[in-house]
Structure 1
Amino acid sequence: MPTQTLTFLIATERGTPAELTEERTKAAVPFGGKYRVIDFSLANCLHSGLRQILVLTQYKSHSLHKHLRDGWSLFNPELGEFITPLPPQMRVDGGWYLGLVDALRQNRYLIERNPARRLLLLDGGAVYRMDYAAMLRWHDEQQAQITAALRPVTDESAPSLYRVECSEDDQVLAVHGPATDHPPTGLAPMGVVVIDKDYLLEQLDQLVRASNGHCDTDFVASLLTSSAGARVSAYRFGGERGRVSQDRYWSDLGSIDAYYQAHMSLLESRPAIDLYQPCWNILTYQGQHPPARTVPGPGSGNEGVFVNSMLAAGTLIRGGAVNRSVFFPCVTIDDGAIVDGSILFDRVQVGAGAELNRCILDKDVVVSPGARIGVDRKEDRARFSVSPQGVVVVPKGARV
C-alpha cells in the first residue's frame, strides 16, 4: 500500500488566523507547546505507512522548509522514501500555484512518472489524528475513483461553508454550498481526499477549467463538485476503522479564538485531543535545550510556581507564577510576574512584576518589568489585536 500512494500535503496558503500567519504559512504555525500544525498530518502519514510525500509550499515558506529539514529528515531515499518541499516549478506557464488543482496541473509530470496508482491529498493546516491506511483500504473496497473524508459538524467543531449529502451506503450524492447560514449539523469536508491517479490525469484539464483559474476555497468541495459521473465515496472520520484511538478531534484553528480554545482544551484533565497516546506520537523538531525548571526569585526569594500548564524545554520561571498556560521553548518568567491563561511562543521574556492575562505572545516578544497585557481592554485594543472573545495577540518580536 505505501508504494501505491503518492501524498500531496498542501501548505501553500497564508491561512488563518491572520495574526499568526503574518510571518509564516498556516502549516508552520506553532501548536501545543512544541509542535507545528503540519506535524499532525505528517505524523499521520508516518504512522499510516506512507513514505512518499510532496509538500506543496508557496507563501512565506522559509520557516516551513527549515522545520521540514530539521524535524522530518528521517525517511530513507534509498528505499524510495521522501518528504520533499515542492514550491512552484514554473514548468507550465511560469505562474504561482492558484490552488490545489492548478498545483496538480503544474506538477503533472511528477504524478505521471511516479508508479503510485492513487493520490492522497491533505490539507496541512488542520490538527487531528487519523489512520490514513484505513481510509485507503475503504477506498479500494468501495472501488471508488474519489473518496473524501467527512467530519460531523457540531456547535463545537470548526465551521464549514459546505455540507456533503451521502446515501445510506456512504456514496456522495451532492455538495451544498458555499453558504454561511447552514445549521451546525451534517457532514463537512475535512481536507483529506483519495483520488485514483488515472482518473485524475484523465480529468485534470476539465478540473482546471471548472476552477476557472481561481484559488480553491475548499479543495475537497471543489473536487467533488467538479467530478460529476465519478464513483465518489464518503469516509466518515472518527468511525471504528483505524488503529488510532478515536478522540474524533479536528480543528483548522481558523480564528484566534479557535486557536486559543484549542490550547486551553489541552489543559483539561481529559483533553479533546490525546497527545499522549504512545502508539501514535506526534513527531517534531526539538532544539537541544535544557530542562524546564522553576527557581526562587533573585530579589524576593519567592518560589517560581506553575499550575495546570504545559512548559516546553528551556523554560525558566524565576519567582514568577504561571497558571493555565502553554509555553513553547525557552520562555523566561521573572520575579513576581503573573501569567494566567496565556500562550507564549519561543523565547518570550516576561519582566519582573509584569502581568499577562488571556494573551498570545508570538516569538521573541519582550515584556518589560511591570507591563500589563490583557488587563485593560481599552489599552490593549489601542496597541494590539484583540479577538472577539478578548484574547490579546502580541506580534513577533514586539517590545512591550
Structure 2
Amino acid sequence: MINDKVLSIILGGGQGTRLYPLTESRSKPAVPIAGKYRLVDIPISNCINSDIKRMFVLTQFNSASLNRHIKNTYHFSFFSSAFVDVLAAEQTPGNKGWFQGTADAVRQSMHHFLRHDFEYALILSGDQLYQMDFNEMIQAHIDAKAEISIATIPVTEKDATSFGILKTDDHNVITSFIEKPATELLLDWKSNTSKEMKKQKKNHLASMGIYIFNRDLLIDLMKDEKNIDFGKEIIPQAISNHKTLSYQFEGYWTDIGSIDSFFDANLGLTNDIPEFNLYDSKQRVYTNARILPTSKISGTLLEKAVIAEGCIISAAKIEKSVIGIRSRIGKESTVINTYMMGNDEYESLESMEKRKPEVLKGIGERCFIKNTIIDKNVCIGDDVRINGGAHLKDEETENYVIKDGVVVIKKNAVIPKGFSL
C-alpha cells in the first residue's frame, strides 16, 4: 500500500508571536480550537483518515501541554507500527542551536526519521484548518514521477500578495515561484485553474505549505545548512533542478497564524453550513476522548451557537459563539461573537466552600461579552462588560490583550466584578 511508504512530518512552527497571548504558555499546535480540539488534531486527523499512521510533530516552544495531549490522545495497537511522536528541539554534539526555520527543523530531526523505512516524506504545517485526502496527492506525485509535490490552492489577486505564488505548465509541473509578490507583478503570475475557481476570480496558485519529497532527494537537499526554510530557499532553488508538481486543492483551507484568522475560523463554525465540516463521518477530527457529562442549559436563547460537552449555562443569550468544554455562564449574561475555550477541570462545591473565591471559573451573572476570545480557566465576575471591536486600540495588560479589535482574555486571568472595557 502507498500509505506504508509515507512518513508524515508535522511542523509545529516557531514561537507563535502572532497568536500571542494564546501561545504564552503553550506551543502553536497545542492551542485549543472549536471548543474541544487542539490545532495539532487537524493534520494528525487528516493523516489518520488517509491511513498514514507514522507521524512526527516537530516543536521547540512550550511543548509540555502538546506532549501531554498527544500522549493522552493517540493510542494505536501494540502490534501496529503506527505512532505520533513529538520531537522537541534538542542539542546534540553536532548541533547546539534551536530550529532556525522549517527546513532546519527537518534537518536537525533527520536522524530520527531515517530510523524508519519510507519512500516519501509528507511535510505538513501544524497551524492550518482543512480536510484533505493525502492519498490523492501522493498518487498524483507517483503518477507524475515527481520528485517534489506542493499542495496549492487558487486565490484571488488580493490574497496572492500574502502567499508564495507558483506558475505551472500544462502538466501541472511548477516552472517558477515567487514569495509574497507585489500587486503590480501579479499579472505575470496567473495559472490555469478550474472553471469554478475562475468564476471566483481565483487565478493564482498559492503554496499551502504542504509538501511531498522523495526520501533520497530530501536527504540530499538537507546537506546545505545555509538553506533553513522550505518556502524561502529549498523550494525556489529545487524547482529548476527537480521535477516539482503542483497538486491543486479546492476545498476549505485557512492558515491560522494570527489572532484575527484564529477568531474568524472559530466563529465560522457557527454558520448553518460551515466551510470546515466537523460533521463529516469520512473526514473525522480526532481528539482526546474525555469522559464528560452532557451540557446543561437553562433559560438561554441560543442563536448560531456551538456548545461543547460538560457545560453549565444559565445565560440570557448566546449568539454566534463557540463555548468550550466545562464552561460555566451565569444568569442574565449575554455572549456574542465570542470563543470561550472552557476549563481544564471542574471545581467541587466543597473546594469552593473552603476557598470562598470572590470570582468563580467561567462567566458570572449579568455580564455582556462581545468580540472576545476567553482562554482556558478564566474567572469573570458578575456585571462585567467587555465590548470588543474596531473602536478599541491595541493594548496589553496583565489580564488581557487587544489585537485588531479582538479582546483576548489571558489563560487563568481573573476579571473582577463590575469591570468594563
User: TM-score band, normalised by the shorter chain?
Assistant: 0.7 to 0.9
Distance change (3 Å), C-alpha of 1:159 and 1:339: farther
- The match for 2:330 is 334
2:410 matches 1:395 = yes
Task: Give distance in 2, aligned partners of 1:286 and 1:158.
Answer: 39
Equivalent residue of 1:64, what SS? helix
TM-aligned CA deviation for residue 118 of structure 1: 1.4
Task: Give distance in 1, aligned partners of 2:392 and 2:58.
Answer: 41
2:392/2:402 contact within 8 Å kept: no
Equivalent residue of 1:306, what SS? strand
Task: Give distance in 1, aligned partners of 2:78 and 2:102.
Answer: 26
Q: Match for 1:359: what amino acid?
A: T
Q: Structure 2 matches for 1:179-218, cutoff 5 A? A: 179=181, 181=183, 185-206=203-224, 208-211=225-228, 216=229
Task: Give distance in 2, aligned partners of 1:267 and 1:159.
Answer: 29
Identity %: 26
TM-aligned CA deviation for residue 40 of structure 1: 1.0
- The match for 2:116 is 114
TM-aligned CA deviation for residue 350 of structure 1: 0.7
- Deviation per residue, 1:349-372 (Å, 9 max, x gap): 111111101111111111110011
Match of 2:384 among 371, 378, 383: 371
TM-aligned CA deviation for residue 195 of structure 1: 0.3
Distance change (3 Å), C-alpha of 1:273 and 1:7: same
Equivalent residue of 1:266, what SS? helix
- Deviation per residue, 1:112-138 (Å, 9 max, x gap): 332111111111111100001111101
Match of 1:162 among 140, 161, 164: 164
Q: Match for 1:226: what amino acid?
A: Q
- The match for 2:58 is 56
- The match for 1:88 is 89
- The match for 2:248 is 236
- The match for 1:386 is 402
Q: Match for 1:36: what amino acid?
A: R
2:264 matches 1:261 = yes
2:44 matches 1:27 = no
Distance change (3 Å), C-alpha of 1:382 and 1:134: closer
Distance change (3 Å), C-alpha of 1:158 and 1:80: farther
- Deviation per residue, 1:27-76 (Å, 9 max, x gap): 11111121111111111100111011111121111111111011112x23
- The match for 2:39 is 37
TM-aligned CA deviation for residue 226 of structure 1: 2.6
Distance change (3 Å), C-alpha of 1:33 and 1:119: same
2:68 matches 1:66 = yes
TM-aligned CA deviation for residue 210 of structure 1: 3.1
Distance change (3 Å), C-alpha of 1:56 and 1:371: same
Q: Give me the TM-score of the superposition, normalised by structure 1.
A: 0.87
1:19/1:256 contact within 8 Å kept: no
Q: Match for 1:225: what amino acid?
A: P
- Please list every run of 5 or more consecutive structure 1 residues that lacks an aligned counterpart in the other structure: 239-247, 296-302
Task: Give distance in 2, aligned partners of 1:127 and 1:156.
Answer: 21
- Deviation per residue, 1:66-108 (Å, 9 max, x gap): 11011112x2353211111111243322322222322222233
2:303/2:318 contact within 8 Å kept: yes
1:90/1:106 contact within 8 Å kept: no
- The match for 1:310 is 306
2:372/2:388 contact within 8 Å kept: no
Q: Which runs of 4+ in 1 moved over 6 A?
A: 155-159
Task: Give distance in 1, aligned partners of 2:5 and 2:160.
Answer: 32
1:314/1:331 contact within 8 Å kept: yes
More deviation in 370-379 or 136-145?
A: 370-379
Equivalent residue of 2:212, what SS? strand
2:345 matches 1:345 = no
Equivalent residue of 1:67, what SS? helix
Q: Give me the TM-score of the superposition, normalised by structure 2.
A: 0.83
1:337/1:354 contact within 8 Å kept: yes
Task: Give distance in 1, aligned partners of 2:371 and 2:341.
Answer: 14
1:47/1:131 contact within 8 Å kept: yes
Task: Give distance in 1, aligned partners of 2:379 and 2:64.
Answer: 24
Task: Give distance in 2, aligned partners of 1:281 and 1:47.
Answer: 7
- The match for 1:245 is none
2:388/2:406 contact within 8 Å kept: no
Q: How many residues align?
A: 375
Equivalent residue of 1:288, what SS? coil
- The match for 1:300 is none
More deviation in 87-96 or 276-285?
A: 87-96
- The match for 1:224 is 235
Distance change (3 Å), C-alpha of 1:155 and 1:315: farther
- Deviation per residue, 1:187-232 (Å, 9 max, x gap): 11112100001112223213x2333xxxx3xx34532113131111
- Please list every run of 5 or more consecutive structure 2 residues that lacks an aligned counterpart in the other structure: 187-201, 344-360, 416-421
2:227/2:234 contact within 8 Å kept: no
Equivalent residue of 2:369, what SS? strand
